[in-house]
Amino acid sequence: MIPGPFSYHRPATVADAVKLLSTLGDEARPLAGGHSLVPMMKLRLATPEHLVDLHNVAGLKGIRRDGNKVVIGAMTTQHELLASDEIAKSIPILHETALLIADPQVRYRGTVGGNVANGDPGNDMPALMMTLWATYHLDGPNGAREVAATDYYQGAYFTAIEPGELLTSISIPVPAAGHGYAYEKLKRKVGDYATAAAAVVLTMSGGKVTTCAIGLTNLSEIPLLADAAAKAVIGTSLDAATLKKAAAAAQAIMAPAADARGPVEYRKHVGGIMVTRALQRAAAKAS
Amino acid sequence: MAKTHITMKVNGAEVEGLVEPRTLLVHFIRENLQMTGTHIGCETTHCGACTVDIDGMSVKSCTMFAVQANGSDITTIEGMANADGSLSALQEGFRMMHGLQCGFCTPGMIMRAQRLLKENPSPSEDEIRMGISGNICRCTGYQNIVKAIQYAAAKINGVEFREAAE
């Protein structure tokens, strides 16, 4: 399989990349890790006339601490994320999740920015970014702006990004010390997209949940934040009745597609189980 | 479409070529360089048969354009034997432990395994299995591939290889 012809551009700065994307218009696509786009191009499901390769843009790389936030450059690979001590220390759920994405080869090339920006409902990072209250930094022909992860996703492959805009970095407020976390992902095999997955970040005090956020992956055409489910566990010790209530509240907003990963009823059923397990494991980790 | 001139180092030798932007790295390696040890399996980034080592990373060469490898340092299965032509520890391991049957996945398996052992010289069985999770084998059931990598790790570390009891 060979992709259709295209012109190749390799800018060195964010400004040049944005300029290329905005002048070349709809026929141009940014190329990050390429592990979603290149297979789509080989299948001719995507036929961009121009590719703007971002690998040479130094300004899109790196992970840094900025006060109480961690800023991740859009071109940071999953492999680099996994190698980061800063991430291990301050936002370990990112490590847990990155290890469940695809396989080692894909993680060497696949980027965090590509994973969150593309709007693929199967990607794992979007729901997690919502759970962590992340902010996406976009740069475009009309300047830079910020969009909350919770406002970014509008439909499958349809996001708040405007033509000519580029995701440059993601900033994540560091969760409170002693927070509990878990990403539970049911998949058919290593490397697969989730049949259902749930992210939980919570804090506990005196055996009771004080704050909680729950994200859901691949259980709708966009990543979901299960607000009602999170609210249901606040102030509780996650007893059996509460877990059941939270799972039901999460299931109420799930709208998965029926596909090779299973019928709708099954995916909602296991979605509830992922929420329950993630809550239990996160609580056990909290201190 | 205009062609681009690219240069890179492959198995220690400087190579060059003229490629269309859409030429995949695996096609450049197999067709321009005539090195056909790197295999094309699924063509959809799943099977890992096309795995090569690029600047210290295991990469599926069917999912990268040759122009993107301009200036890089690549190792393919043709560069895996020792300088005197004898089998490297991994190649010997695959031979001694019967780590292949049809052999189609083997170049990708070996290229992935060498990077795994560089990053983690004494991997556990679980780490090996996760480490090669991007490489699919339809013959062996992986048991002997895991043993082959354990054999190579032992040899590289200078310790005696002992097969785990079944």
Residue in A closest to B129 by C-alpha: A190
CATH code at A46? 3.30.43.10
Mean pLDDT of B90-95: 98
- A71 in the same domain as A157: yes
Summarised one tens digit per residue, pLDDT across range A4-19 is 999 999 999 999 999 9
Decide if A140 is inside a domain.
Answer: yes
Q: Are residue A46 and residue A136 in the same domain, yes or no?
A: no
User: Per residue in A209-264, pLDDT tens?
Assistant: 999 999 999 999 999 999 999 999 999 999 999 999 999 999 999 999 999 999 99
Flag whether residue A190 sits within 8 Å of chain B, measured between CB atoms.
yes
Specify the number of domains making up chain A.
Answer: 3
Shared-domain flag, residues A48 and A68: no
Where does a domain end: A115, A144, A173?
A173
How far apart, in Å, are the Cα atoms of B13 and each of A25, B16, B74, B130? 40, 10, 10, 32
Residue A114 lies in a domain: yes
Assess if residue A1 is contained within a domain. Answer: no
Percent with pLDDT over 90 in chain A: 98
- For residue range A252-282, what is the model confidence (pLDDT) as tens digits? 999 999 999 999 999 999 999 999 999 999 9
Tell me, what's the ipTM? 0.95
Whether B164 shows a pLDDT value over 80: the answer reads no
- Chain A: give the shortest CA distance to residue B110, in Å: 13
CATH value at residue A75: 3.30.465.10
Note whether residue A200 is domain-resident: yes
Nearest to A169 by CA among A221, A209, A204, A134: A134
pTM (two decimals): 0.96
Condensed to tens digits (0 to 9), the pLDDT of residues B114-126 reads 999 999 999 999 9
Q: What Cα–Cα distance (Å) separates residue A35 from each residue in B30, B45, B123, B143, B147?
A: 21, 8, 27, 29, 30
Phi and psi, residue A255, nearest 5°: -140, 65
Taking only the tens place, the pLDDT of each residue in A44-80 is 999 999 999 999 999 999 999 999 999 999 999 999 9
Residue at which a domain ends, from A173, A204, A224: A173
Residues A151 and A71 grouped into a single domain = yes
> Is the CB of residue A14 less than 8 Å from the CB of residue A58?
no
Residue range B47-73: average pLDDT?
A: 98
Q: Establish if A133 belongs to a structural domain.
A: yes
A70 occurs within a structural domain? yes
Same domain, A38 and A100: no
CATH of the domain at A266: 3.30.390.50
The answer on A145 and A70 residing in a single domain is yes
pLDDT averaged over every residue in chain A: 97
Residue whose tokens read 């695959």? B94
Of A2, A108, A109, the CB nearest to B22: A2
Indicate whether A262 and A165 sit together in one domain.
no
pLDDT-derived band at B162 (thresholds 50, 70, 90) equals: confident
| CA B53 – CA B57 distance, rounded (Å) | 5
Whether residue A100 lies inside any domain: the answer is yes
Residue A51 contacts B, CB cutoff 8 Å: yes
pLDDT at A1: 87
Same domain as A126, residue A185? no
Q: Which residues of B111-131 are buried (b: 16+ CB within 10 A; e: fewer)?
A: bbbbbbbeeeeebeeeebebb
Together in a domain, A71 and A166: yes
pLDDT recorded at residue B165 = 64
For position B166, what pLDDT does the model report? 59
**Is B51 within 8 Å of chain A by CB?**
yes
Structure tokens at A201: 């970040």
Is residue A122 less than 8 Å (CB to CB) from chain B? no
Asked if residue A266 and residue A187 are part of one domain, the reply reads: yes
Looking at the structure, do residues A192 and A277 belong to the same domain, yes or no? Answer: yes
Distance in Å, alpha carbon of B21 to nearest chain A alpha carbon:
6
pLDDT of residue B163: 82
Statement to judge: residues A169 and A232 lie in one domain: no
In a domain, A76, yes or no: yes
Nearest by CB to A105, from B21, B43, B51: name it: B51
Domain that holds residue A15: 7-53
- Out of A53, A74, A89, pick the residue that ends a domain: A53
Cα-Cα-Cα-Cα dihedral of B157, B159, B165, B166, to 10°? Answer: 40
Residue-wise pLDDT tens digits, B123-157: 999 999 999 999 999 999 999 999 999 999 999 99
Q: What are phi and psi of B86, to 5 degrees?
A: -75, 160
